[in-house]
Structure 1
Amino acid sequence: MSLVVRTLADRIFDLVREKVVSGELPQDQPIRQDALAAEFGVSKIPLREALARLEQENLLVSHANRGYFVRAMSADEAEEIYALRLAIEPAAVGLAALAATDAERAAATAAMDALDKAAAGQAEQVAMRNREFHVALARPCRRVLTVQLIERLQFLSERYTVAHLAPAGRGDRAHDEHSGLLQAWLARDAAHAEALAAAHITGTLQDLRQQLHQA
């Protein structure tokens, strides 16, 4: 049995990250460390450690004598994230469809169910469950570095997922696309699953291009 030890800074990291992903902490605004420390009931030491990690994750940016700010989303960053996803994720999903064990197939189905249940809840929960679903479809490809890269890109995608799902009707469309993708994956139709994954990523990027250029 493995023992996972989470520090106070780890827990604060998750809490602040949720606030960034959901938009509760606005972009390009200074983070009020006193207020966050009081809200979490902690000192500034673990909070600063968490903020430094979030800067390493490209979610925050620090300025000398001004503190930490939420890094603004941009069309350029979206292009880079989704281009990288498109380059590696669909092929991994296709390979995983053929290699997945019964347990991994059950895990992917459970991830889809969790995503559906989260759809009526908070935005950051939907983004997290969306990430877990996509990673579950790729993990059985048995390529460790590829899966690590996909996980990293999925983390970076979360704020864009929240933005993408904001317009009316997007959630229903995403559900339909995810359902079709999962069905092809469970049927071990690697070519179809790969094509659907590519179409899903491409369609999301096309929507984001329009949204972010209008912002």
Structure 2
Amino acid sequence: MTLVVQTLSEQIFSLVRDRIISGKIPADVAIRQDALAAELGVSKIPLREALARLEQDGLLLSQANRGFFVRPLNATEVEEVYALRLKIEPDAVAEAAKVATDADKRKAKAALDALDTAANTDKTQVGRLNRAFHMSLVRPLNRQVTIQIVERLNIISERYVGKHLEPAGRDDRAHNEHMALLELWSGGKATEVAALMHQHIAMTLEDLRKQFETEKAHA
């Protein structure tokens, strides 16, 4: 068994991050650091450290003399992030499929099982676990720069994953696509898994485009 020890700042980071992903912290008002620190039972120093990390991850933005705000979801960021994922992630997954060990495949299967469980029991964890599954298909590549770039893009994508799954029926589609990806990847079918990953990301991007266009039209 591996013992995972988190610092206080890391624990706060995880707690606040989950609240941002789930939408519990609104995007249009400054985070009340005094109130949040009191609620969490911590001082403001580790809280500020966690907020600074969340800003680096693209979930928050800071404004002089106003504090930290949740970064609003927007169509421009979607286009940029998903375009970069389309250029990098399919090839990375394909190359990883060629070298994945049996242990890597078990980890990927466990990551998908955890994602499926969360989809039925705790929607607030879906974005994080979706990232964990996608990264499990990339990590065997063992190219740290590529892995870091793909993970960074997936971190930014997490809230958009939640948005994408809002319409009914998309949970089932995502599950089926993930199952197919895992099967191809585990079988070492690099060309096929790259094509399906490209399609998976591209379809999500197209769905998000339509959602933002609909929201804009109704605004």
1:117-156 residue pairs with structure 2 within 5 A?
117-156=117-156
Instruction: Indicate yes or no: 2:179 matched with 1:179.
Output: yes
SS class of match (1:17):
helix
SS class of match (1:31):
coil
Q: Give the equivalent residue in structure 2 for 1:188.
A: 188
1:3 Cα deviation from its structure 2 partner: 7.9
SS class of match (1:68):
strand
Q: Structure 2-normalised TM-score?
A: 0.93
In the aligned structure 1, how far is the partner of 2:88 from the partner of 2:170?
24
**1:23-69 per-position Cα deviation (integer Å, ceiling 9, x unaligned):** 11111221121221121111112111211221122211112222111
AA matched with 1:137? L
- In structure 2, relative to structure 1, the CA distance for the partners of 1:173 and 1:3 (3 Å cut) is closer
Q: Give the equivalent residue in structure 1 for 2:167.
A: 167
Identity value in percent: 58
AA matched with 2:150? I
SS class of match (2:137):
helix
After the TM superposition, list the runs of 4 or more consecutive aligned residues in structure 1 that deviate by more than 3 angstroms: 1-5
SS class of match (2:48):
helix
- In structure 2, relative to structure 1, the CA distance for the partners of 1:116 and 1:2 (3 Å cut) is closer
1:98-109 residue pairs with structure 2 within 5 A?
98-109=98-109
- Structure 2 portions without partners, runs of 5+: none
Q: Give the equivalent residue in structure 1 for 2:17.
A: 17
**1:176-215 per-position Cα deviation (integer Å, ceiling 9, x unaligned):** 1111111111111111101010000000000111112333
SS class of match (2:163):
helix
In the aligned structure 2, how far is the partner of 1:197 from the partner of 1:16?
30
Q: Give the equivalent residue in structure 1 for 2:206.
A: 206
Count matched residues.
215
1:5 Cα deviation from its structure 2 partner: 5.0
In the aligned structure 1, how far is the partner of 2:81 from the partner of 2:171?
21
SS class of match (1:167):
coil
Q: Give the equivalent residue in structure 2 for 1:81.
A: 81
In the aligned structure 2, how far is the partner of 1:42 from the partner of 1:181?
42
Q: Structure 1-normalised TM-score?
A: 0.95
SS class of match (1:159):
helix
In the aligned structure 1, how far is the partner of 2:138 from the partner of 2:83?
17
In the aligned structure 2, how far is the partner of 1:113 from the partner of 1:103?
15
Q: RMSD between aligned alpha carbons? A: 1.6
